[in-house]
Each structure stands twice: as C-alpha cells, then as structure tokens.
Amino acid sequence: MDDARLLLYAGLFAVLMLLLATLFNILGEYSRNRYAQQFAHWLRLRLLRRIVARPYGDFLQQHSGVLVKKVVDDVRSFVNDIFLPLLDSMARLTIILLLVATLFLVHPWIALGAAGGLTLYYLGIFRLLSGRRRLVSEQLKIANRGTYLHAQQLLGGIKPIKVHRAEEPFIGKFAIHSGQLAKYTPWQPIYANVPRHLIEPLAFGGLVLAVLICAARGQNISAILPNLGVIALAGYRLLPAVQLLYGQFTQIGTTLHALDEVYDEFLVAEKDEALDRGSSDGFFPQPPRLTWERAIIVENLGFCYPGTARPVIQNLNLVIPKNTSLGIVGQTGCGKSTLVDLLLGLHVPSSGRILIDDTPLGPGNRRAWRGGIGYVPQDIFLIDDTIAANVAFGVPEKEIDANALRRAAGAAQILDFIEKETPVGWQTLVGERGVRLSGGQRQRIGLARALYHQPDLLILDEATSALDNATEAEVMRAIDNLQGKITMIVIAHRTRTVEKCDARLEMRTLRRQSVPLLPSTSANRILRSSVSQT
Ligand SMILES: Nc1ncnc2c1ncn2[C@@H]1O[C@H](COP(=O)(O)OP(=O)(O)OP(=O)(O)O)[C@@H](O)[C@H]1O
C-alpha cells in the first residue's frame, strides 16, 4: 500500500471516528434530556395528584395561581436547572478525575498541586457567595410567585377590572414582581462565571511569576519550561471542566427555591391527615354510589373554619328522611353553604357527625357518597368546552349518553335553548368559564349537570337566583316534579322558592363563640320543629 493510499484510509478512518463520536454525543444528549423530561412528566403528574388529593379546606387557604406555578413552572425549573445540571455534574466530575489521574501519571506533584489549588479556589468562592446565592434564590421565589399570582388575578378578573378602570394598579402589582425577576435573574450567570473571570488572569499571572522568579534566581528557564508546559496544558484542559462544574452548582444554588416549592408540596401532602383518604396514593377511585334507605342524620354538628375562632355552625341536629325535601333559608353569611359543604363531605365537622342511615360520613365513604349527589352551587363553574361536556362534566367524550343529556337538559328547562338557539347545538363551545352564556343559561346548565347522573340527593344552593320569574317558575316546576322521587335540599333567599319543601330550616348567624350558642330557642329548635311539622 503506497503512502498516499495509507494517508487516505487513515484520514477516512479519522473522519468516521469523528462522525461516530458526534453521533454518540447527540444520542447521549438526547437520552439525557429525554430521561430528564420523562422525570419532569412523572413529577408534574405526581405533584398534581398530590395537590388534588388534599382536602378541600386547603384550597381555601392557597391561591390557585401559586399551585399552578408549582406544577408547571417549579417542576420545569427543578428539572432543567437542578436535575439536569446534577446529571451533567456527574459526567463533568468524571472527566475532571480522569484528567487529574492522567496528569498524575505524567507529573504527580503538578497534578496534586493543580487539583488542590483549584478545589480550594472554587470552594472558597462558592462559600464566599453562598449568602448572595441564597438571597437571589429567595427573591426569585417571591417574584415568581408574585408574577403568576398577579397575572392570574388580572386576567381572571378582567371584566370588573375594566369596569372599575383598575388596569394600572393591577398591572403595577405585576410589574413589581416582574421587576424583581429582572433585577435578580442576571445575577445567576454572574455568580456562575465570577471564578472564570478571575482565574484566567490569575493563572496566567502565576505562570509569568513562576518564570520571573526562576529567572531572578538565575535558574535555567529552559529546564523548567517542560514543567510549565505541563501546567499550562493541565490548566487548559482542566479549567473549562472545573468552571462548568462550578457553574452548574451555582445554578443549582440559585434555583433551590424551585426545589423548595416542589418538596414543600410533597411534605404537606405526605402528612396522612392532609390527604383525602381513599385517594391517599394520589389516585382517585370511583367506588359505586353509596346506597341508603332511611335518612341523612345530622348529630350535634359544629364547624369552625381553620384559623377562625367563631363557629359558623354549632350543635345542629337534623333528620332528612329519604325522598323528602328540605328548604334552607336564612340571612346571608349564616352558614347555609357551609352546611351544604359539610353534607358533601368537603369539610370535616369540628364536632358532631353526619350519618347516612347508620353509617358516619367520613374519609372511607365520602367518594361513594358524592357519587349519588347532584349539586348545583351558587356560581356554576363551566369549562371552556362544549355544552355536552359541561353537562356530562368529567365523563369521557365517547361515553357521554345523549339520552341522559336530553333528559337532564329538559328537566333543567334548557333543552330548547341548546337544540334550537345555539350555533351547533350540544357541540357549541361555551367559552372560558361560560362567558358566551347568560347567567341564567349557566345556572340551568349547572342544574342539567346535577341531574345528568340521576342523583339520589339533589342539593340546590341558590340554584335559581339568576333566573327571571318565569324561568324560575319553570325550573321550580321541574324540581317540584322530583318531589317524593329523590331527596332534595334547597337553599334559597326567597321563601317562596322553598315553600313546597316538606320541611324548612331557618338558619341564623351565630354570635361570638363565648356566648353559649343555640340554646333551646335557637336555630336547632326551629329546625327540629320545622322538620317535625311535616
Ligand atoms: N373559607 C372560609 N374561611 C373563613 N370563613 C369563611 C370561609 N367561607 C365562609 N366563611 C364564613 O362563614 C360564614 C358562613 O358562610 P356561608 O358561605 O356558609 O354563608 P351563606 O349562609 O351560604 O351565605 P350566602 O347566603 O351569602 O351565600 C360567613 O360568615 C363567612 O364569612
């Protein structure tokens, strides 16, 4: 084989090797990123399940924007700015150890000196800046929360904000946090790169100084040149690797707030009592609905919201026989919706209990209990989807029963509107929170949703308040048709809305806790008497 051919083969082999190395690099990078993103997906889901499994009361304490940020932004930040750099650091550390080991074989003292010097230098600067890094991390945590919270508040409440011409104050609140983000984020790369900026002149100056000292001592410079060459080569190979490792640790340090946010959520959810039992593993079973024959019995029920000293309900006793209706009236703020939330198993009573026949309502059976309840709240929550999806709420699209939809919509007096007045009938999109519907239409869709699953117990919390007199009369007629067939609890401000109910409970606002509440003349008795009247 002549020289030219040998050269050609060698060249081709070298190019092939380079291509292979590039391919491995690309594959390695893809696998690493894929692994990290799969981990992020797993973490997001797990975190979301944990959050959703928390008791309803917890959601009254925390803004949903902050929870959304945890699931979306903090997990992304944790994986991209902590987890991936940690993975990289392992690889980087291996390279550094290999370089030092190679150098050790060539020149042990120089290897030890370089390793020791660099370690001391980087550790020193890392420690020196630790306070600043913590501060930046803390400020970024607050600013991140603030931007999410205020953006959500501004865009979620756009109607009243426009009407009250309050755009600027709301944008101003957002701007404060956004400004903090802009102020503290640029420090992240600065802290990461400070040692690099310093070490280059330091290292070069050190080499020059070594040469000058040798020259001053009259040593032969050419004798130390090989050593200096080894030092320069070590520095040339080692420095970028050490610098990258340092940069990654610094990035981790300034993003620790994301880890805090994710970790805190797991800590809260880890506490057994903080989880909705039955979904404590983060999965939500769908047990068959609870069957009951006789009555819902409320025994000495008391409830006080967490963090408040004043009970909203105290010593309440009540029997709601199956297939009867109970009307609840009372002045605003007296606890009607709270009582309903207790009956729905959303709050845990502070005292007393609720029995379904003889079974106390509790963590073990509340999902089964809710399976048989149709509930129409004061504010109907509509998803940005079709009318069909909103009525069948939570039923997968393919499993939606068209007959059940029509039956429920008919009873809620909304069938004609859906089928004759909307552009594409059941497939019409309602817009974010149902903005394309009137208040009355939203309420009737809410009622249809409650009736879709043919509940055993129908709870209407001011369900007809947004309807005009004629429509309310129509809806009430439909509801009255259910009298005697299912159990109903009807909350209303207007007494005439509940006049056809079998029993009526008049609730009153409780006074201060120190005053003995509900003696024989208070709401309990009114309730008992009104129930026993029927
Ligand atoms: N999450 C909460 N934390 C603390 N207190 C609360 C909470 N929710 C409601 N309250 C208080 O509990 C009391 C009862 O509220 P609830 O909503 O049950 O009244 P309501 O009778 O349904 O009123 P309305 O007729 O106006 O709907 C009120 O004084 C209210 O301020």
pLDDT greater than 80 at residue 346? yes
pLDDT at res. 271: 55
H or E element that contains 459: strand 457-461
Each residue of 256-271: pLDDT tens digit?
A: 778 887 877 776 655 5
Pocket perturbation via mutation, ligand 1, pick of 56, 338, 495 by most ligand atoms within 8 A of CB: 338
Distance 112 CA to ligand 1 centre (A): 70
Q: Where are the domains of the chain?
A: 3-270, 295-533
**334 pocket-lining for ligand 1 (C-beta < 6 Å):** yes
pLDDT greater than 50 at residue 530? no
- CB-based contact 478:313 (threshold 8 Å): no
pLDDT greater than 70 at residue 282? no
Average pLDDT value for the chain: 82
pLDDT greater than 80 at residue 520? no
- CB-based contact 119:97 (threshold 8 Å): no
C-alpha–C-alpha distance, residues 464 and 188, integer Å? 55
Which amino acid, 178?
A: S
pLDDT at res. 328: 92
Distance 316 CA to ligand 1 centre (A): 16
- ipTM of this predicted structure: 0.96
Domain 3-270 sits in CATH 3.30.230.10: no
Pocket perturbation via mutation, ligand 1, pick of 62, 337, 508 by most ligand atoms within 8 A of CB: 337
Each residue of 68-120: pLDDT tens digit?
A: 888 888 898 889 888 888 888 888 888 888 888 887 887 787 778 778 888 88
C-alpha–C-alpha distance, residues 377 and 443, integer Å? 9
Distance 411 CA to ligand 1 centre (A): 30
Taking the CA of residue 340 as reference, the ligand 1 atom at the shortest distance is: 18
pLDDT greater than 50 at residue 245? yes
> If pLDDT is split at 50, 70 and 90, which confidence band does 183 have?
very high
Distance 105 CA to ligand 1 centre (A): 76
Distance 152 CA to ligand 1 centre (A): 24
CA–CA distance from 19 to each of 5, 11, 25, 31, 378 (Å)?
21, 12, 10, 18, 66
CATH, domain 295-533, list 2.40.10.10, 3.40.50.300, 3.10.20.520, 3.50.50.60: 3.40.50.300
**391 pocket-lining for ligand 1 (C-beta < 6 Å):** no
CA–CA distance from 454 to each of 346, 446, 449 (Å)?
21, 14, 10
Percent of the chain with pLDDT over 90: 24
